[in-house]
Chains A and B, each alone.
Chain A
Amino acid sequence: MTVRARSARALLAALPALLIAGCAGGGRLPAAVQGSAPTTTAAPDTQTYSCPADEAEADGVTPKSYEPDGPLPSPSSLPAGSTMVEIRDRGALRIGVSADTLLFGARNPLSGQIEGFDIDMLKEVAKAIFGVNDAGAYDLLDFVVIPYSQRIPKLRSGEVDIVAHTMTINCVRWQQIAFSSEYYQSGQRVLVEATSPYTSIDELDAAGATVCVPDGSTNLEKMADYPGINTVALPDISDCLVALQAGEVQAITGDDTVLAGLKKQDPATAVVGDKFTFEPYGLGIAAEHVDFVKFVNALLDEMRTDGRWQAIYDRWLLDTLGPQTPPTEQYGRVEK
């Protein structure tokens, strides 16, 4: 082979290597990483509850609770072996409450304490069990802040002794837990801007107004009775206040208790019209703690007559909801 031929071959042999050097390939940026949360498969409560025919109440009538066996016992004479003694021996009353329902159960950002009508009711329960004063009662409350959906499960699991959480007493819920007698009678009303021409849900219906209502609530179901209203459902009723302040809706509808809290946050609004639903609130207690239900009912009876209920109402709700008297107790439930 000549020198020329060898040179030509060497060049041809080098060609692929040089081509590769010129076209390296690879080295690209991958897409962004994306993590994920571990999937939890909590067993859903598949049991459905319905109201037995013999327990069904007429619309607008509060279901009956357990009648107290007698006057409220003093803290030093609680029945041995009772739920109340168990709580007293534990040293704390475990309560399920809301912390974002202004006037009923909301955290005061300055004091750090959760306060409101519901909280004061529970302080009275603590005072009756532990025999302490008002200030001491707060320290004996073991707060468990829970969402609406956890009110019944937390009672059934025994994680809390009692729930005060703007909770409506009804026959279906009585199949799962027990209730005290009615401690507040709420109902659905309307919140509008103070200068609004509307004064009732019927006027809003007739005018074809846009009304905000919390999504997934019984309040939303009620709107089917007012077909003229353009209903806007938002996740939380506070979101409705944001929408009202932004001028996106002309009114908000919800329980008067919650509307009172909204009005407190925005003095340029007004709660108007009569209640057009019936929402009797009760303190929730585990179904098996009938003795505790009777104890709380005896306490509520005392509070209705000695002015304590009125004082608590006036402290929290008089300014926004106007004068109101304690609801009448409904007894006669038979222990199963």
Chain B
Amino acid sequence: MVTTAIVAVLFGVLSATGVDRRATALTAADAASQQLIAVQDVQVRLVHADAIARENYLRGGIEDGAKRVTYAAELAAVSDGLVSVANSVLSNEAATLAGVSAQLSRYSGLVEQARANNRQGFPVGASYLRTANTLSGEMVASLQSVQSSLRQQVNDSLDRADKAGIWLHATGWPLLVMLVVGGVWVASRFRRVLNVPLVLAAVVMLLILVVGGTVQGSAMADAERATSGPLQAADLAAQARSASFTAHAQEFTTLIARGSGTDDGAWQTSISTTELALDQLCTIADECSLKSYVRDYADAHASVRDSDNSGDWDAARKSSLDGEATLSFAALDSASSSTAAALGQQAAVAMSSAADGLALLRVLSFLAGLAVAALVLVGFGQRMREYR
């Protein structure tokens, strides 16, 4: 009797702990997923700013004023975003992001030197720009390493949440078996069919196991669906968007380096990353509309390269800055921006709501343990009094 009561109390404590661990792990997964989206936003803004810096350099002394305003706004957003995310991530990632912040100051200085030289018609500006571009590449690599770490944190948190679910069942089902076996034993021993408190204890256990199992299973399934659904979709959309800006920036770089850099391999690698990400996005989220925008831009880019490779750099530059390539990339940018924003919002909502209901279950499972212990004591106590 006492053993069963103790097991019941233990069940209450352990199952509540298990539910609590699952809730904590799912909350951690939610936090890591939000940090992932935030870091991706920082990266997208950085590569966007870098693409604008190269575009304005290619324009020469006469820059596009609106683009320059956008460049400044994106850099400011990158700076703010780095500070904001660094305050919420683990120390390793925070140190990496602090390094990116330091590089950002140097990057903006190099771009300004490139701009100043370019406005005077000095080719050394291209070297300053190239140094800045190399630095932005290093910053992107750092941000990608933070993203990899955050993806791993999401997955590790889900694994922890998964494992925590066992506590409810590992303690609950043996307790229920003990209650049933104990009830049967008491019934046969005392020749009484029903012991109401023991039956109630078994019913409470069964209910908490079924309802609790369903609630925490549902929370886990919701989190995993959110991860492999909206979160992965948002992740892919951000990757596609970032790679598309990198490709666009590379188009400008190739034209800036006319005569000393006709290799289009970097553009092809970036656009291939964009296409791969969008293929997967199409598969998992049925969001396939962006692929046609990429194809249109790739066609326009091919025309830019054809013009440049055949010696008509002016036509290539015109198409890249104010022609078909500009229009097709602007369409891709606009469409991918709204898609990425919508998917990011969906992911945030889906991940944050996954743990809903676990707080109540944690209390209920603890109370159920106490109630079962009390009912066991009452039930066995009745029979003991009758026996005496």
Contact = CB atoms under 8 A, between A and B. Distances in A.
A37 B183 CA distance: 71
A145 B239 CA distance: 34
Interface in A303-328: none
Contacts of A32: 144, 147-148, 151, 235, 239
Contacts of A100: 123, 126, 257-260
Contacts of B126: 100, 238
A33 B270 CA distance: 11
B110 to A, nearest CB: 9
Contacts of B168: 22
Interface residues of B, number: 79
Nearest to A241: B124
B232 interface: yes
A335 B237 CA distance: 64
A247 interface: no
Interface in B226-279: 227-228, 231-232, 235-236, 239, 243, 257-262, 264-266, 268-277
B260 A27 contact: no
A138 B161 CA distance: 72
Contacts of B173: 15
Contacts of A30: 151, 232
Given A32-B239, A35-B271, A94 B228 contact: no
Given A25-B162, A27-B228, A35 B151 contact: no
B258 A145 contact: yes
A242 B128 contact: yes
Contacts of B272: 35-37
Given A11-B176, A112-B314, A27 B273 contact: no
B136 interface: no
A310 B154 CA distance: 72
A33 B124 contact: no
Interface in A25-65: 25-38
B311 to A, nearest CB: 4
Chain B interface, DSSP helix/strand/loop, else mixed: helix
A242 B60 CA distance: 19
A269 to B, nearest CB: 11
Given A23-B162, A100-B126, A242-B131, A147 B121 contact: no
A261 interface: yes
A334 interface: no
Nearest to A266: B124
Given A146-B259, A238-B126, A35 B273 contact: yes
Nearest to B317: A112
A108 interface: yes
A143 B220 contact: no
A81 interface: no
A98 B259 CA distance: 6
A105 to B, nearest CB: 8
B122 A102 contact: yes
Contact of A23 (B220, B239, B270): B220
B184 interface: yes
Contacts of B49: none
Interface of B: 60-62, 117-124, 126-128, 130-131, 144, 147-148, 151, 154-155, 158, 162-163, 165-166, 168-169, 173, 176, 180, 183-184, 187, 206, 209-210, 213-214, 216-218, 220-221, 223-225, 227-228, 231-232, 235-236, 239, 243, 257-262, 264-266, 268-277, 280, 311, 313-314
Given A100-B257, A236-B260, 11 more contacts: A11-B206, A24-B221, A25-B224, A35-B268, A37-B272, A94-B311, A97-B259, A109-B60, A109-B61, A236-B127, A242-B127
6 contacts: A8-B180, A22-B169, A28-B228, A107-B60, A110-B60, A143-B311
